[in-house]
């Protein structure tokens, strides 16, 4: 795992770094620290990261802009901040966790487990997905997303009006921040479960989910039985 720590308090940056080393051990591939996000973000393309630990003061326009820019990235974001009253908003924007300062090792471990652990899910409270478009970031309400289709390192959000938006995150990472209603039905598809009308088994172990708007999406062979039970 490659981690970037953005923290302007040197002692706290060191603390985060130390804890990451202790928790992740060998899993940690690279770790960098910066005092400002703008300094580090320029180098994100050449040296991509998996996780951003961001000290964020959401008060004011700058904080919000920083948040949307970070959640639009291909990496996960964990906010490490003293301003806990902003946690809810951070979750709405799709951060994977919000660690309040002062923090203990256990709390950070819990946050990191959200990424590495078996469940692999965040709090799932995202109400918006930040999409990078022509150099700026646009917010897509999660409630408009019908399903998500994986496209290599990216994911395509398919909205209720048929529009498609490209997201920098992988399908796995998106699944981690999307609400529990979103179900992974295929290695390339996440669908809003409440929109699924019926499951169909075609010939040749070919399974499909039929959505209310008539669209049919493929279902992974391993997932079919489980999903069948879930639909009842």
Partner 1 sequence: MTTLGRVFRSGLSLGLLAIAIRAAEGPARPERDWRHPLDWTQGTVRASVQRWFAELPPQLRYSEARWRPGDDGRWAGPEFADQDWPVTGYWNLPARAGVFWVRFRVRMEPEGARLPGGLLISTVMAYEIFWDGVRLGESGVPGNDRAAEVPGRVDRWFSLPDQLRQPGEHVVALRLSSHRCGFPAAQTGLRLLIDEPERLQRVAVREALVPTLAAGAAVMAGLAGFIMWLVAARRPTLLLLTGMCLSAAAMQALHAHRWFFQYPADWHYPVLLVMAFLVGLQGICLVAFLLVHFAVPGARWLPAALVAVYVVVSWWSPARLNLEGVHMLGIGMAVALACAGWAAWRRRQGAWPALIGVWISGAALSFEPSDYRTNFFVKFLPAMLGLTAALAVRLRDERLQARSAQLTAARLELELLKKNIQPHFLLNTLATVLETIEQEPRVAAALVEALAGEFRVLSRVAGEKLIPLSQELELCRAHLRVMSLRKEAPCTLDTTGVDETTPVPPALFHTLIENGLTHLRPRDGRYEFILRQERTPAETRYRLVARGVRGPEAAEPGREGTGLRYLKARLEESCTGRWTLAGGPVPEGWETCIGIRSAGGEGLTPAAAGGGLGEAAPP
Kindly state whether residue 144 participates in binding partner 1, applying the rule CB under 8 A.
Answer: no
Q: Which is nearer to partner 1, 99 or 185 (CB)?
A: 99
Label residues 168-195 b or e (16+ Cβ within 10 Å = b): bbbbebbbbbbeeebbbbbebbbbbbeb
Radius of gyration, alpha carbons of the chain: 19
CB of 70 to partner 1, least distance (A): 13
Nearest 10 degrees: Cα torsion 18, 124, 189, 147: -140
The residues near 178 (Cβ < 8 Å, ≥ 6 apart) are 124, 126, 142, 145, 148, 190
CB of 81 to partner 1, least distance (A): 8
User: What residues between 14 and 33 interact with partner 1 by CB under 8 A?
Assistant: 14-15
- Please identify, among the stretches 26-34, 99-107, 109-117, 174-182, the one whose residues bind partner 1 according to the rule CB under 8 A: 99-107
CB of 62 to partner 1, least distance (A): 6
**Per-residue string for binding with partner 1, 55-94, x by CB under 8 A?**
--x--x-x---x--------------xxxxx---------
């Amino acid at each position: 795992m490659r981690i970037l720590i953005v923290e302007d308090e040197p002692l706290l940056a060191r603390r985060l770094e130390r804890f990451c080393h202790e928790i992740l051990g060998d899993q940690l591939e690279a770790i960098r620290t910066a005092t400002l996000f703008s300094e580090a973000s320029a180098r994100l393309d050449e040296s991509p990261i998996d996780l951003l630990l961001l000290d964020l003061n959401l008060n004011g326009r700058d904080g919000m802009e920083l948040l949307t820019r970070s959640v639009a990235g291909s990496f996960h974001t964990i906010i490490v901040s003293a301003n806990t009253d902003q946690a809810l908003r951070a979750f709405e924007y799709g951060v994977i966790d919000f660690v309040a300062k002062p923090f203990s090792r256990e709390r950070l471990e819990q946050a990191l487990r959200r990424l590495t652990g078996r469940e692999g899910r965040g709090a799932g409270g995202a109400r918006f997905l930040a999409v990078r478009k022509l150099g700026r970031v646009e917010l897509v309400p999660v409630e408009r997303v019908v399903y998500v289709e994986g496209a290599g390192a990216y994911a395509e959000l398919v909205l209720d009006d048929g529009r498609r938006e490209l997201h920098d995150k992988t399908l796995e990472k998106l699944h981690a921040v999307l609400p529990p209603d979103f179900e992974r039905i295929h290695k390339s598809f996440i669908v809003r479960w409440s929109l699924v009308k019926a499951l169909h088994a075609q010939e040749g172990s070919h399974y499909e989910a039929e959505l209310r708007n008539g669209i049919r999406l493929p279902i992974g062979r391993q997932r079919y039985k489980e999903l069948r039970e879930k639909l009842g």
